[in-house]
Amino acid sequence: MFDDADDIHPLFAGAPSTTEFKKLRKRIVRQTREAIEQYGMVNASAHDKDTKSPRWLVCLSGGKDSYTLLAVLYELKWRGLLPVDLLACNLDQGQPGFPATVLPEFLKRMGVPHRIEYQDTYSIVMDKVPQGRTYCALCSRLRRGNLYRIAREEGCSAIVLGHHRDDILETFFMNLFHGGRLATMPPKLVNEEGDLFVYRPLAHVAEADCEKFANAMRYPIIPCDLCGSQDGLQRQQVKQILDQWEKNSPGRRQVMFRALSNARPSHLLDPKLFDFAALTTGQIQKDENPDEIPRLR
């Protein structure tokens, strides 16, 4: 079905006809669909024709990842595999030189319902963050707060972000090296207020695939000139480490990513996850699963 030029969403108009690109596109679509199903981003009731479809706020930065996210979600919706309404949203944060017309013109040309919101969070970040410190933490908090507000105003049940597999891995190692905890970006979570989901459907997709896809489609990429221009970011250092590991042992990123889905609390050190104090000899019977985790008290 991917090869029928007459059966295609406008976001894929002009897609390369090469076998390499078709394989890339199929892989990204498949991995996105798998993540949506695996992490329960769509309830079974959403497929009922008598039930109102949930609405997702798809957040666009203008980078390669968000363009890939938008295209793939529309691909799934186009083919009847994603029973949700999609509203694209770009938050113009007032960065000097930001090309404010690029995304509105692109979305209008693609026939994608959208909302463009202007909020000058750039001035707040520049005022509050001391010189020499990174802007990412405050910038992301301000951005997320505005996106939550927009989602509520638009009647959306979830905001959808373009974080991919490599973002998730980098965040894990950031927490490991600098935060002293084993944690990363979950593919699905509920916000602190408890009224909105946050989804990351590209959780299984490699960054390199997003880059190849967006470049092949010639989407108008908008670089981040706020934090992206800062040198020595901890995340960039982690990325360089992962790049070197991948160079030395191709496929290592995927192995590490699989490990995040294969945690064994009994082989870690956190007594809040595994009740070591209650563990005694003679608990395992012949008919019991030796890998079963004792319940917490």
Q: List the one residue out of 224, 179, 212, 219 whose CA is nearest residue 10.
A: 219
- How much helix, strand and coil, in percent to the nearest 5, is found in the chain? 45, 10, 45
Q: List the one residue out of 35, 37, 77 whose CA is nearest residue 55.
A: 77
**pTM of the complete model beyond 0.75:** yes
All domains in the chain, ordered by first residue = 10-260 (3.40.50.620), 271-297 (no CATH)
> Can you tell me the mean pLDDT for 71-98?
92
For 183-214, the pLDDT digits (tens) are 999 999 999 999 999 999 999 999 999 999 99
For 45-65, the pLDDT digits (tens) are 766 676 789 999 999 999 999
pLDDT above 60 (res 114): yes
pLDDT above 70 (res 290): no
Secondary structure (3-state) at 189: strand
pLDDT computed for residue 297 by the predictor: 40
Secondary structure (3-state) at 116: strand
pLDDT above 50 (res 288): no
Q: What is the CA radius of gyration of the chain?
A: 21
Secondary structure (3-state) at 247: helix
